[in-house]
Chain A
Amino acid sequence: MDKNINVLIVDDYRTMLRIIRNLLKQLDFNNVDEAVDGQEALAKLRAGNFGLVISDWNMAPMTGLDLLKEVRADQRLKNMPFIMITAESKTENVVAAKQAGVSNYIVKPFNAETLREKIEKVLVHA
């Protein structure tokens, strides 16, 4: 598993961005960029060279699910590992995310071990 990849974390709560960034640092992922909604994330993904997206769902104007759909529809980004980390915990949310092509799904509040496990899983299969 290459820990030198660029990781984009997307969340409209700055505190959550900071928590995820610090947890990633503990896992030796040091190349981390941030976006506060799907639109900003999509612009950064199209302009940059990322190897993993970790995104919240409930953001405006573009939600995490809509970002995921845009990523999967983009020829260059369509195979990007994409983990959703969200408080949306209804079955219909998980099913919609899976149908849109999510690589894995973490429900908030989450622990560091779950984050590590899901990242390893999606990067090994990437």
Chain B
Amino acid sequence: MPDGTPQGPEGDRIEATVRAVLTSMAGDLTAKESALLAELEGLGRTIARAKAEIAALQVEDIRDAHIPSATDELDAIVDHTAHATNEILDCCETLEQMQAELSGDAADKLQGAVTRIYEACSFQDITGQRIGKVVTALKAIEARISAIVSAASGMPGPEAPPVVAAKPLDESRTEGQKLANGPQLPGAGVSQSEIDRLLASFD
């Protein structure tokens, strides 16, 4: 992978020229200047090595295989849980039809159990939104890695995706979009009882 340093005969010619210039200057430099020059040479080599190492990270694998694979797996999780949840809901609806054939305590118990299943099934919405946030984060990481490698190599790779902002500019978004952050981690959001108190404080 190119690291921005000229390769082949041209590179050899430049290196030879630089060495010749430095050698010719050596006698004219003070000890302090020579030390500084050596430091600069060392710094240049370190930068070149870092660029080569970054370029060797095989970012194409991350961009073309790892991240698409990870996002596909996450999409599959959402699809499978949605499918499973709908199967559960099918069963619940069948049970509710059977409830009409029951009476008294048995009917109430069945209704209560079905209600609890409905409540539990709402997990699918929350997990879907959480996974969506992870996919967005992965895509942002992919774009940033590509940008870093392109900058380090000095060659904006033709297949490198353009670096885009993680979110559209604030000016073009509505208040509803700006405040749409998805589910919060435990402890980060407010509870239903806190929301009730907050709403009551407006009355």
Contact = CB atoms under 8 A, between A and B. Distances in A.
A19 B118 contact: yes
Given A57-B176, A110-B119, A111-B119, A13 B125 contact: yes
Interface string A34-70: 0000100000000000000000011000111111010
Interface stretch (B36-44, B63-71, B145-153, B184-192): B184-192
A89 to B, nearest CB: 3
Interface string B174-203: 111101111110001111100100110010
Interface in B73-122: 82, 85-86, 89, 92-93, 96, 111, 115, 118-119, 121-122
Interface residues of A, number: 41
B199 A89 contact: no
Contacts of B180: 57-58, 63, 88
Contacts of B125: 11, 13, 15-16, 87, 108
A96 interface: yes
B127 to A, nearest CB: 10
A76 interface: no
Contact of B89 (A22, A65, A69, A98): A22
A123 interface: no
B111 A19 contact: no
Contacts of B181: 88, 90, 93
A109 B179 contact: no
Contacts of B175: 65-66, 69, 96
Contacts, number: 118
Interface in B117-151: 118-119, 121-126, 128-129
Interface in A75-111: 87-96, 98, 104-111
Given A94-B190, A98-B202, A108 B115 contact: no
Interface of A: 11, 13-16, 18-19, 22-23, 26, 38, 57-58, 62-67, 69, 87-96, 98, 104-112, 114
Contacts of A106: 192, 195
A89 B183 contact: yes
Contact of A112 (B86, B96, B118, B202): B118
24 contacts: A11-B125, A15-B121, A15-B124, A19-B118, A22-B93, A22-B96, A38-B176, A65-B174, A65-B175, A65-B179, A69-B176, A87-B125, A87-B184, A88-B179, A89-B183, A89-B188, A89-B191, A90-B181, A91-B190, A92-B179, A96-B179, A107-B190, A108-B125, A108-B126
A39 to B, nearest CB: 12
A89 B184 contact: yes
A27 B123 CA distance: 21
Contacts of B202: 98
Contact of B124 (A13, A64, A67): A13
Given A18-B89, A26-B115, A98 B199 contact: yes
